[in-house]
Each structure stands twice: as structure tokens, then as C-alpha cells.
Structure 1
Amino acid sequence: MNIGQLIKLERQRQNMKQEYLASGICVPSYLSRIENGLVIPSEDIQQHLLKRLNVPLDALNNDGDEAKLSYFKAFFKTVINSRNKLKANSLFQDIRTYIEEHPFEPKRLTLLLMETRLMLMLPNYLNQVQANVIILEEFKKEMDTEQLFYFFSIQGIIAYQNNQFREASELLTQIFTLIKSYRMEDWEMAELYYISSLAVLSESRYILAIDYVKSALSYFNQEILIERSIECLIILGIAQKHTGVINESVLTFEKAKDISSKIESSKFKRKIEHNLGACHSLLKNHEQALLHFQNSLSENTNPEENLLTILNILKEYHKISDIENAIVWLNRGFKLLNLLPEKTRTFYSSHLEVYQAILLDKHDLLSTFKKILKYFELKQEYKYCSVYSYVLAQKLAEEKQYKQATIYFDLGFKYYLKQLNITSWEELL
């Protein structure tokens, strides 16, 4: 990076306006030209700018500490591979200290990228990520291929964490295009495949998710990164389940369970047991499904995850017409609602109210379902709109309200088309 870029980067890091830095030294337009590399400032102006930035005058003579940078890169690889938050925090603090002591380090942009990537692993610093991203965006044109790799990865992870799955997928796809003629290291590619598998899985692109996660799994197995391998097996099992190869999915989750048991880790047990329950439910192995769901519940103290499992147990008992147990689990679900944050409480209460209306034969069935359908339509959750319209239509037909039943059968099909993003029946052919 040249002198102007380093001045700009340090000014932005300090959240300092151009007008303030330039005040009494030069006009802001001249500072802008310096920062954009259009002019080289005189030694006198350089010194005044450095003093205003509280940067030592000899900072410009710093050629960087190559040994330190090599150490950072090696440690960064270990942190990303292991996902160890304690190590991530240690490296983050080391990089911050180094940047403060070497504000004009020539590899400053790479260090900023590493710092930002580590922030994504550390909850205490997540609110600072966007400020770094804004700075990085300013230097996008100056980035080399490796730096762009990390920048797009950071943006993809942020989009994924914000549930913007399509945007995340598009950003990560850009990386694959970017590096077609550039060789990234195997661990970097494994991380890209892993993140990409999560993004496309969330978009319901299950075949691509399988391809990506298998590539990541191959590296993690080779490097004996056991927990990362288990994470990949869970993603693989979920994708297999959604593509209809349920028996393969069961084998994948059983493998993940076996590995977890061998390393005596309970970290993934809840997720593995829950997904085994879902698989056996699809296979109509109801007793096994209930056993796995309850195993999942016993391993978990998170109210939202508990409620998700309770909903699945409730569904399973309703499937086998065990109304007594279904009502028991319905009541357990309602008791947990108050422990949920407001933004997710309505989502779960809506599902529970459906079963309450069905199981307790509520007379206000129609108004209950109308309220629930309105909620899911506003959320654009057309899958639930479609299913619950069909459920309501069936209940209305049972009560011989055929005209109303017809309306909701038709509405359910329209929601189904919306779910598939289909605008005309010809697209179904």
C-alpha cells in the first residue's frame, strides 16, 4: 500500500473525517488526492498528517515484520480450521496490538481482513464488523485475488448470519469464479466449500450442498479435524434427507453419532438425535423417531431448540393418533413460549395453535386458521400457508362445510404455487 492509502486506512480506522484531518494542514480536496494516490505529499505535510493521526513519524520507514506476519497467517489457519474461540480471541488481540504499534504496516489490508474474519467468530465484536467492512469496501479495487477471496468470504458469512441466503450464495459463487486461475491453499478451499454448503442448503439446493460438503469433508478427514468432520456429516445428512435418500441419511447421522461418541463429545448430540428422529419419522418408524426426538430434548437447555423438538414430538404423536400424549406435549410447548424472545414466539405459537384447534376441537377453528394464515403470509412462509390451508379444508369438509372447504383447497394450491415461485400452470408441465 502507498502512503496515501495507509493514511486513508488509518484515518478511517480512527473514524476521522477528511475535513478534520486536513484542517490547518491542507484543503480536504488535496487530502483526497493524496489518499487516492494522485499526488505524493511533501515531507512537511506528511509529518503534520501523521501527527494529527497520532502516528510516530518513523512509521513510514516500517518495512513490516515478515516473521510476525508468517506467524499470524499460520495461527489464522489453525483458528479457522479448529473454530476455537479462545484461540480466535488471542489472535485477534495480537493482531490489534500489532496494528496499533505498526499503523503503517505494508500488509495492513491483509491484517484488517484477518481481524474482520476473526470478529465473525467472536460475539463481543460482531457490532464492529460492519465498520470494518465499510473500510474494506473502499479498498476493494486495490485488493489482490487472495484478499478478494477473504473479502467476499466475509461478506458471504455476514449475509448467511443475517439469513440472506441467496445473497450469501451469490457472493460465495463469485469466489469460485474469482479463483479459477488462482490456487488457494487446501484449508482455504475447504472452508469455502463448508460455508458454501451451508448457504446453498439454506436455499434448498440440496444436490449442490452435497457436492460442496463432500469436498470440505474430504479435507477435514485428511487433516483429522474431527469436529469439523462431524459438522460436515450433519450437513450431508440433512441434504440427503431432503433429496429423499432417507436410509443414506440415517447412515450418515449414525456415523456422526458414532464419531461423537468415540471422542466423548456431546456438542453435536442434540442436532444428530433430532435429525435421526426426523429421518425415522419419514420412514414411519414412529417409536424410533420419538426415541431420538426425546434423546435430543434431554441434551438441550435452549428454549427455542427445545420447543422445536417438542413440536416434532407433538406431530409424531398426532400422526399415530395418540391424542392423549399429543395434548401432553402441546401443553409442554405452550409452557415454553414465554421463555422465547418476542421475534420468534409468534412463529412457534402459531404452529401450536394449529394443533390446539385440531386436538381440542375448538369451535373458532376458522378464525384461528385465518389468523395463522395471515401471519405466515406476511412472513412469506408459503409452505406453511399451503399446508395449513389444506388442513383447514379437510376439517371443514369433515364438518360438511363443503363450500368453505373448496375455498381453502383452492387457496392451499395457490400458496403451493407461490412457494415454488410459479406464476402459470404451464410451468408445472
Structure 2
Amino acid sequence: MNIGERIRQIRIHKKFTQGELVSGICSITYLSRIENGQIKPSASFLEKVAEKLDVDYNFLIDADYEDIEPKLLEICNKYKQENIISEKDLSLLELYVHETSSTLLLLKGYGVLIYYHSRGNNLTYIEPIVDQASQLIPNRVEAQNNEDFIYYLMARGLYYCSKQDNITAHEIYVQVESLLGVEEHLHHANVCYNLSVIKQRLYKDPSICRLYSQKAYTLYKKLNLEDQAIDALIILALQYNLDKLYDKAFESLKQAELGAKVISNSMYLPIISYNYAKIYQGLKDYTNAIKYYEESLQFSEFLPNEADKVYTLRSLIEIYIELKDWENVNRLMDDAFEILAIYDVPYAHVQLYGFKAAIFKLRGDYYGYEKEMHKAIEMGLEKKQYPLVRELATELGNHFYDNRSYKMSAKYLKISSQLPPI
């Protein structure tokens, strides 16, 4: 990459316009000619631009591989050990991955970038970086790079899991599982936990998911990772609840609650309250369910992602629909869609369109019902929420069939039948 192209790339990355970069330095025309490779920049120009871009002068004039490698390794190793990275190092890392052709350095650099932004829920920002990585990194690597390949795949898995693209996430975690050796360590535990969550979203039978949750819990305890062990117990409680094994669900959740008190982690307050509510909802004890959902909302400031609050609102809406309390349904629906206007939560979003459709149907407004169901199905297809789409498309297809609208019925039943197998 020549100097002009490197300046252009860094300028775009730093979100400078040409005018902003050269203000007080030179004309935009001069910069354009440099970026287009028509003229060579002066040393004075390079010094001023390097300072403004906050990059090393030597990196600007010659991004030598030998200079990049030690700094990239230092940044990546520090993040892996401490989960900390400065804005400057993050910015440098994004530049370095464009300057190296080493598979090892690409794995390390993209692994950290994708992990960092996925953990921060910066999914829109990281999307082009994930795409770049998939174009540059092969599907298989040499054995000596396996550890970094697994780290990179785990980062991609988290990205797709956070996007709720469950099929792609499942494929990635299964690939990681096949790469792990016999020795059980943290990667094994994390893969078991993640596969448990993904399989729960994809399959109706929770018994398979529970095998992975139980294995994850055992490994986390063995590794003395109490926070992760609590996470595994919570997901296990949810899976028992889905299978209507309420006593076991309570048992797992109480164990998680006790562990959370021992480590004094406030993050678990809304999550545990939410899961108690889910169990009571399953038991149709709506008084206690509402009580715990409201408690979860009160603790929502402790949630790692504000978007997760939408699940509590969704569940309350479900109960109030059952109770025919339309004022609360409307109030909570407005609150939920306010959150969804800011955050991308595909599963809950599709479900809520389905709830709106169900309300129209109860009121005898079949046009409104069909319109909201169509919205739900379209969004579900776009966001790859295939189990939900299958359920909704089948329902809508049957609705049209019962009303002798056979062409529309065939359309939606075809959508249901042609969804990717899970």
C-alpha cells in the first residue's frame, strides 16, 4: 500500500473528511493528489498529518511487517489476559489487520476486534470487519495456529449469537467443538454453554440442551469460575422450565441465587428475578409471575445490556393478554417497541409482532391480524428466526385456508415448508 492510499485509509478509519484533516496544513487539492498517488508528500506534511491522525510517523511512511508484528502481538496478548484495550490500540489494530498477510496475525487481530465489539454489543459497527475477516482467513489452518483459530472462531460465534443468527452460530460452535482436544479446559466449558443456548433456540426438545448446560456447569466448577457456573445454572433452570420440570427449575435457580449472593454480583438480580417469574408463568401463577417480572424491571439498571429488558416486557405482555388486561398490554407494548427502536433484538421483535397480530384477531380485525403476521414473518426471515417463522407461517397459512383464500394459504405454507432444516 503506497503512502497516499495509507493516508486515505487511516483518514477514513479516523472519520476525518479531507477538509478536516488538512485544515491549517494544506489545500484539499494537494491532499487529493497525494491520496491518488499523483505526487509524493513532503516530510513536513507527513509530520503534521501523522500528528493529527495520532499515528506514528514511521507507520505512516512505511508500515513495515517487522514493526507491526510486535505491537499487534502486544495489543492482542494484553486484551486476552486482561480484557482491556485502549481506544488508540483498538484503532491501531484495525489498521494493522489491513497491513499484514500473516494468517497468525490476522487470526489474532480479527479475533480481538470481533470479541471486543461483540462483547460491547457494537454489532452494526463490527459487521464489515467480520466480513473482511471471512474473506482473508481460511476455513482451516495449520495445527500450530489452532489455538488462535479457536479464539477467532469463538469471537465469530459470539457475534452471530448476539445477532441471534442461531444457525450460523451453531455451525461455528460445532466446528470449534471438533477442534478441541481431549483435555478439558475453558474453551470446552464455553463451547458447551454456548451450544446449550443455541440449541435451546433451535430445537423444541430441551433435553439435549440440558446435557450441554450440565457439562458446562461441571467444567466451570472444576475451573473455579463461579460467575460462569451461575450462568450455567440459570440457563439450566430455564431449560427445566421449558420441559415443565418445575421442581428441578426451582432447585437450579435457588442454587444460582445462593451463588450470586456469595459473590455479590448485582448483575444477577434482574436475571434471577426474571427466571423465577418464568417458572411461575409456566405454573400459571400469574400473581407471583407479575411480582417477579416487576422486580426484574426494578433491577434492570444492573443488566449488562439494556436491550435485555425487552424480554421481561414481552413476558408481561403475554400474561396480560391472557388476563385480558388491555390497558397494561398497550402500555407495555409501547415500552417494548421504544426499546426495539434503538436495539436489535430479533427474537423478541418477531414475537411482539405476533402478539400484536393475535390481539387484532381477538378483536375480529382480520386485516390487522394478517398485516402484523406478515410483518412478523418478513422480519423473521430477514433476521433468520426460522423456528418462529415456521410457527407463524403455518398459523397464517392455516388461517387463509380456513377462510378459503387458497392462494395465500399456499404461499405461507410453502414458506414454512421451505425453511432451512435445523
Verify same fold: TM over 0.5. yes
- Provide the C-alpha distance between the structure 1 equivalents of 2:108 and 2:317, rounded to a whole number of angstroms: 45
Matches within 5 A, 1:11-410: 107-118=66-77, 120-121=79-80, 122=82, 125-133=85-93, 135-136=95-96, 140=98, 142-146=99-103, 147-161=105-119, 162-164=122-124, 167=128, 169-177=130-138, 185-206=145-166, 208-217=168-177, 220-222=180-182, 224=183, 226-244=185-203, 246-300=206-260, 301-337=264-300, 343-344=306-307, 347=310, 350-351=313-314, 354=317, 357=320, 362=325, 364-365=327-328, 367-372=330-335, 374-375=337-338, 378=341, 379=343, 381=345, 383-388=347-352, 390-391=354-355, 402-404=363-365, 406=366, 409-410=369-370
Give deviations 1:121-174, integer Å, cap 9, x for gaps. 45653433443145436xx3x522334444443443355341347546534422
Deviation at 1:342, TM superposition (A): 9.8
After superposition, what is the alpha-carbon deviation per residue over 1:160-202, rounded to whole angstroms, capped at 9, x for unaligned? 341347546534422444x768776222222223223323333
Q: Distance in 2 between matches of 1:143 and 1:393?
A: 52
More divergent stretch after superposition (341-350 vs 297-306): 341-350
Residue in 2 that maps onto 1:64? none
Distance 1:294 1:413, change over 3 A: farther
Unaligned runs of 5+ in 1: 23-27, 55-98
Q: Give the conservation status (yes or no) of the 8 Å contact 1:152–1:175.
A: no
CA distance in 1, matches of 2:328, 2:41: 75
Task: Report if the CA contact (8 A) 2:314-2:348 is conserved.
Answer: no
For the 8 Å contact 1:230–1:256, the answer to whether it is kept is yes
Secondary structure of 1:125's aligned partner: coil
C-alpha distance 148-230 of structure 1, shift in aligned 2 (>3 A) = closer
| Counterpart Cα distance in 2 of 1:376 and 1:419 | 16
Partner of 1:67: none
Q: Structure 1: which amino acid aligns with 2:348?
A: Y
Deviation at 1:40, TM superposition (A): 12
What are the equivalent positions in structure 2 for 1:3-14 lying under 5 Å apart?
Answer: none
With 128-137 and 354-363 compared, the bigger mean Cα shift is at: 354-363
Aligned-pair CA distance for 1:402: 3.2
Distance (Å, rounded) in 2 between the aligned partners of 1:250 and 1:117: 34
**What's 2:408 paired with?**
none
Shift of the 321–427 alpha-carbon distance from structure 1 to 2, 3 Å rule, reads closer
Alignment match, 1:86:
none
Cα distance in 2 for residues equivalent to 1:124 and 1:329: 35
Measured after TM superposition, the shift of residue 288 of structure 1 is 1.4
- Once residues 163 and 19 of structure 1 are traced to their aligned partners in structure 2, the CA distance between those partners, rounded to angstroms, is 33
Q: Deviations over 1:389-429 (max 9, x none)?
A: 555666787xxx6325x466435422321232369745445
Contact 1:333 1:352 (8 Å CA) reproduced: no
- Cα deviation for residue 382 of structure 1 reads 5.4
**Counterparts of 2:267 and 2:225, CA distance in 1:** 22
C-alpha contact 1:273 1:293 (8 A) present in aligned 2: yes
Deviation at 1:109, TM superposition (A): 0.9
In the TM superposition, residue 317 of structure 1 has moved relative to its aligned partner by 0.8
In structure 2, C-alpha distance between the alignment counterparts of 1:159 and 1:340, rounded to whole Å: 18
3-state SS of 2:160 partner = helix
Deviation at 1:220, TM superposition (A): 4.8
What CA deviation, in whole Å up to 9, does each residue of 1:355-374 have, x standing for no partner? 67458764624532552464
Question: Letter of the aligned partner of 1:143 in structure 2?
Answer: T
Give the distance between the partners of 1:303 and 1:248, measured in 2 at CA. Answer: 30
Compare relative contact order (CA 8 Å, sep 6+) and give the higher one, 1 or 2: 2
Aligned Cα root-mean-square deviation (Å): 5.2
How far apart are 1:270 and its partner, in Å? 1.6
> What secondary structure is seen at the aligned counterpart in 2 of 1:321?
coil
Question: Any gaps of 5 or more consecutive residues in structure 2?
Answer: 12-20, 52-57, 383-392, 394-410, 418-422
Which protein is bigger by CA-based radius of gyration?
A: 1
Structure 1 equivalent of residue 375 of structure 2:
415
The CA distance in 2 between the partners of 1:336 and 1:212, in whole Å, is: 34
Identity of aligned residues (%): 11
